[in-house]
Structure formats: structure tokens, C-alpha cells
Amino acid sequence: MKKIVILISGRGSNMQALLEAKLPCRVAAVISNRADAEGLNIAKAHGIPTAVVEHRDYPDRDSFDAALAKKINAFHPDFVLLAGFMRILTPNFVAHYHGRLLNIHPSLLPAYSGTNTHARALYDGVKIHGCTVHFVTPDLDHGPIIIQAAVPVIRDDTEQTLAARVLHEEHRIYPQAVRWLCQEQIKLGEQGKVVFRYRKQTGYTLVSPGVE
């Protein structure tokens, strides 16, 4: 059975969705860069080992990432999952876990990489927003895309209501991506694209607002 390590920085809602999804893999540990991350208590309640590598204890990103990698490697994971992990990782760290490092991002990448995605989407007046699971590369939030979910932007949406609608979909697609990965249904191909080994995709149109 494949082993995974989950990295968090805060409440860990995506981590909780992964823990509750009954995935065909074992969560070896949950690691945070903040000792006060709420998600650590959720992980402990699920019987998952936890660890903290405080980024503030290190003088620079390279030394923090080296310590983080050492802690991760102690659990010998097959895959490492970023679930609200609010640190930009160095190229050396990303290269070490090439093809084994996933992230969930609250936008339909490549649109709205970085932070404040919902506010930016509302400001631009887009009609469809969503979330993306992708392999992590040194190019921030631009790694090969595994799966996306789209939601309509409703006329009276606020940043909070839109974020809640997107988060619901995050909790659906992240476990699905990890399930595919652990079952070896997907991999990161040599050309830097996601390869689906056994799955056929169907096509349909998503329109928002709806066409009458």
C-alpha cells in the first residue's frame, strides 16, 4: 500500500477530506510549519502521527526546506500532498519529490495563481471559477494539471460565498486525484504532462449563466 505525507499550515480542511475519504493508501504523517495549526489536532484525532517544522526557526528557505525534507523522508512516503501549506518551496525541494508532490489550488489554473484568488475572480467579473489539483513544479501554481472542478459565479456572490462553493469542490477532487495516484492510474509523463493510464474522458459543455 502506498504511503503519503500531508503538509499543512492551518485548519487542514483539505487534509480532513483526505483522511475521511478512505483512500487506498496509508497516511504516514501530517506535518505543519506552524505548531498552532488546527489541523494537527484533527490528524491526532484520526490517529495519524504529526510533526512540526517551524519555518521561523530557520534563517532562510533553503535551510527550512532541507529540515522539512529530512522530516518527511523519515516516514518514507511515496507521495507528498500540500493541503493548505502556505510556504513557497525551493527548486531543490521540488526536484527531490519530482512526480510525487501534489497541490490543491483554489482557481482554475493557469488563471489566478498565487493568493486572493476569489477576490480577484470577483473583481474581474468571471462567470466560472473553481479549483485545480496539480503536480508541483518550481514554477509556482503552474505544474501539470490532474483534475479541475468548476463552479458558477453567482450575481450576489461575496468572496466568502464563492470560497465556500469552491472549497466544497476541493474536498471532492483532491481525494479523487490521490486515489488515482495511489492506484497507479495516473503518472507524470516524460513530457511534463499527466498521463491517464486506464481512464477515458467524456466531454460536455459547462455554461454559466445557463443558456435558455
Catalytic residue positions, numbered = 105
The answer to whether 89 and 15 have CB atoms below 8 angstroms apart is no
Cis ω for the linkage preceding 209 (within 30 of 0) = yes
Phi and psi at residue 187, to the nearest 5° = -155, 165
Burial class (CB in 10 A: 0-12, 13-18, 19+), 5: buried
Using CA of residue 41, residue 42, residue 45, residue 49, what is the dihedral sign?
A: negative
Q: How far apart are CA 14 and CA 106, in angstroms?
A: 11
